[in-house]
Amino acid sequence: MYEIVAREDFSDSTFLLEVKYPLLAKAARPGQFVIVMSNADGERIPLTIADFSPERGTVTLVIQAVGKTTMEMQRRCIVGSALYAMVGPMGKPSEISKMGKVACVGGGLGVAPVYPQARAFKQNGAYVIGIVGFRSRDLIFWQRKFEDVCDELIICTDDGSAGIKGLVTDGIAMAVDKHPDIDEVIAIGPPVMMKFCAEATRARDIKTTVSLNPIMVDGTGMCGGCRVSVGGEMRFCCVDGPDFDGHQVDFDELMRRLTRFREDERAALERWQRNPGCRLEQEPTASE
């Protein structure tokens, strides 16, 4: 139903899926996300849209295989297969304001979804500084794509094997030193990264927008699992976000809430890893 038309593996844990859903590809805007189910017994997982092409009628997702569901997807989502469900575009689109100068910061899984934002700002006439972080040189992806839409691109690697040695926050420090007139920083990545990006810009009071990724079920405002504290108020990420003012977000609370199902996730993964190939053998038997 939601056919996978292309796939690319960036590393042994990160992979890209291009999924056919022409209406969604036409409606999607930077900053929005989708919820997918890989199979009928699967869980609903939110994924930020990494790219979309109305021409090809496809939506691109970049997925990191970290748990049972994503590892199973890494194994099974081959070109020609299909997802059981994909719904979206969810969340409010990012506000691509008419800023003069912006820094688009992506780390880990956030590298991909920050790309459409960089592209949109570029199309709006902004001066775009891309700051992307990877562990090492061989994990870098989309460098050309970023170079095409960024006026400057700062690549940060943990081991210094490419670009500067350091974290994206070091890249932000570099950028703001060189460009004191940066109007806005957009940061997408793991919560801890976004937290430190927001800290890095707080002193200079640079508007910093982050894209949150809490646990959710329906994505339409009905479960409340994705509630986050922003400026002391409870907000639902799925319908009030996913973009929020990074200086107002309680990241520590978000990170605590992301551990809600840690034990269950670990158990599911271990169980799956014992016999990853076959779903049938995992069904309960009469004696169980």
Partner 1 sequence: MAKKTIRNIPQERTAMPVQEPKARVRNFSEVALGYSLAEALNEAERCIMCPQEPCVKGCPVEIDIPGFIQKICDQNFRGAYDVITDTNLLPAICGRVCPQESQCEQVCIVGDHLEPVAVGRLERFVGDMAVAEGWSNEPDIEPNGRRVAIVGAGPAGIACAADMAKAGCEVVIYEALHRPGGVLSYGIPEFRLPNEIVDDEFGKVIELGVKVECNTLVGRLFTIEQLREKMGFDAVFIGTGAGYPTFMGIPGESLNGVLSANEFLTRCNLMQAGEFPYKDTPLHMGRKVAVIGSGNTAMDAMRVSLRLEAEEVHCLYRRSRAESPARAEEVDHAEEEGVIFHWLTAPVEILDDGNNNVRALRCIRMELGEPDDSGRRRPVAIEGSEYEFEADMVIYAIGTNANPIIGQTSNLELNKWGYIEANEQQRTSIAGVFAGGDIVTGAATVILAMGAGRRAARSMKAYLGILDPVEMAVSDPERPRIFGIDARQRNYRRVRVAA
Q: Which residues bind partner 1 (CB under 8 A)?
A: 2, 23-24, 27, 32, 37, 41-44, 68-69, 84-90, 92, 217-225, 227, 229, 234, 236, 239, 253, 256-257, 259-261, 263-265, 267-268, 271, 282-284
Closer residue to partner 1, CB minimum distance, 6 or 267: 267
For residue 266, the tally of other CB atoms under 10 A from its CB is: 12
- Cβ-defined contacts of 265-271 (< 8 Å, 24+): 265/67, 265/68, 268/67, 268/68, 269/67, 269/68, 269/71, 271/68
Q: Give the tokens for residue 15.
A: 């992979």
Closest to partner 1 by CB, 90 or 168:
90
User: How far is it, in rounded angstroms, from Cα 27 to Cα 173?
Assistant: 35
Q: Which of 143, 248 has the CB closer to partner 1?
A: 248
Smallest separation, CB 79 to partner 1 (Å)? 21
Could you tell me the smallest distance in angstroms from the CB atom of residue 223 to partner 1? Answer: 4
* Cβ neighbours, 10 Å, residue 35: 20
For the bound state, the minimum distance from the C-beta of residue 153 to partner 1, rounded and expressed in Å, comes to: 31
Q: Tell me if 226 sits within 8 A of 214, measured CB to CB.
A: yes
**Residue closer to partner 1, measured from CB, 138 or 261:** 261
To partner 1, the closest distance from the beta carbon of 25 in angstroms equals 11
- As measured in angstroms, the least distance from the Cβ of 233 to partner 1 is 9
End-to-end Cα separation, the chain, in angstroms: 33
CB of 273 to partner 1, least distance (A): 12
Q: Which is nearer to partner 1, 24 or 99 (CB)?
A: 24
- CB 170, min distance to partner 1, A: 30
Residue closer to partner 1 by CB (options 136, 220) is: 220
Stretch (H or E) spanning 75: helix 68-76
What element of type H or E holds 242? none
What's the rounded Cα separation, in Å, for the pair 243 and 91? 8
Q: What is the CA radius of gyration of the chain?
A: 19
Which whole-number Å values give the CA distances from 271 to 22, 83, 219, in the listed order? 36, 22, 28
